[in-house]
Structure 1
Amino acid sequence: MASTAIPPEDDELTLPRASINKMIKELLPNTRVANESRELIMNCCTEFIHLLASEANDICNLRQKKTINAEHVVSALDKLGFEDYAKEAEEVLRDCKAVAAKRRRQSTRLENLGIPEEELLRQQQELFAKAREEQAVAEQQQWQQLQQLQQMQQASMQQADSEQEDY
């Protein structure tokens, strides 16, 4: 089947078709939507995002900021006449911040291990002590090897001296 929809230009960014199709299916589960209509919805969504981003960027620049943040996007929604969406966006933002904060609290490695901090500290101290002990043994072995090498050199020099005396 040939599609009659006009493909987007190569340099134009669009939303993924799968995402648009999923949203349509969730919002209109018992309704068939033609491919041309899906394409139109995708283009409208893309254009809305471009418009919103551009307006948020203008607001960001007016406030002499370098990064667009959520406040700029909400202000852009208000300025573009989408006050109802702005209120919903603020609610979603609050929810996202709460979820992110909860995720940060839950994702600490210490908590995920299920071992009390005191036990982890004790294990760490044991590892440090073991490492110091291994280091001391390695240094002792190096010292012994150095002494053996010196003894061999002295013995070799004494033997060379005694051989010279024999001649």
Structure 2
Amino acid sequence: MAEAVPEEELTIPRAAMNKMIKEIVPSVRVANEARELILNCCSEFIHLLASEANDICTQQQKKTINAEHILGALDRLGFNDYRTDAEAVLKDCKAVAAKRRRQSTRLENLGIPEEELLRQQQELFAKAREEQAAAEQAQWLQLQAEAQMSLQQQQHGDVPSNSGDGEYS
């Protein structure tokens, strides 16, 4: 059975909250009680927004909350004024994610066109096939030579003994 998560773990990290406060109002001192109140309000807002987005998601018979569900929740909860800002943040997040995907593409990092890489791959495949064929042919020739030698020994009665001294019986 899963343990319940303590309430304090369901909040925004205090260091992050303090940084946001300092960035928004750098010249104002904020009392610890006020910081705690802001932290609790933010957590409550996130819970409320997530719950409403979950309701929208469920009504649409979806299993994953997406950005449209969050935007719809903002509207339903009367936070329409935040929709434009939220859409701008979403657009920025998508742009950053697309940039990361482009940067993480190994082919682009190599600086070699995809066509050239494909040509090199085909060359390597062809070389591997040639090497495999040569190895199989050498093995076949070896087997043929051994079979011929065995046949000649049988015809001449030169079958080696098992005495281990290397002489024929």
Q: Shared fold by TM > 0.5? A: yes
Could you tell me which of 48, 51, 56 is aligned with 2:48? Answer: 51
Write the letter of the residue equivalent to 2:110. L
Deviation at 1:155, TM superposition (A): 5.5
Deviations along 1:97-147, one digit per CA (max 9) or x if unpaired, are: 334344445543333221123322321222112211221222123223323
Secondary structure in 1 matching 2:72:
helix
Deviations along 1:72-118, one digit per CA (max 9) or x if unpaired, are: 11111111111111221112222323343444455433332211233
Deviation at 1:24, TM superposition (A): 1.4
Deviations along 1:9-46, one digit per CA (max 9) or x if unpaired, are: 95321212221122112112222323333222222111
Question: Normalising by the residue count of structure 1, what TM-score does the alignment of the two structures yield?
Answer: 0.76
User: 1:126, 1:110 → 2: CA distance?
Assistant: 18
Higher relative contact order (CA 8 A, sep 6+): 1
User: 1:11, 1:148 → 2: CA distance?
Assistant: 78
Q: CA RMSD in A?
A: 2.8
User: 1:53, 1:153 → 2: CA distance?
Assistant: 82
Secondary structure in 1 matching 2:29:
coil
Partner of 1:20: 17
Could you tell me which of 72, 81, 86 is aligned with 2:83? Answer: 86
Write the letter of the residue equivalent to 2:132. Q
Could you tell me which of 74, 82, 86 is aligned with 2:71? Answer: 74
Question: Normalising by the residue count of structure 2, what TM-score does the alignment of the two structures yield?
Answer: 0.75
- Could you tell which deviates more after superposition, 73-82 or 152-161? 152-161
User: 1:98, 1:115 → 2: CA distance?
Assistant: 25
User: 2:34, 2:147 → 1: CA distance?
Assistant: 90
User: 1:69, 1:77 → 2: CA distance?
Assistant: 13
User: 1:88, 1:68 → 2: CA distance?
Assistant: 19
Secondary structure in 2 matching 1:68:
coil
Could you tell me which of 33, 38, 49 is aligned with 1:36? Answer: 33
For structure 2, list consecutive stretches of 5 or more residues without a partner in the other structure: 161-168
Partner of 1:11: 6
For structure 1, list consecutive stretches of 5 or more residues without a partner in the other structure: 1-8, 162-166
Describe how 1:149-160 pairs up with structure 2 within 5 A: 149-151=146-148, 153-154=150-151, 157=154, 158-160=157-159
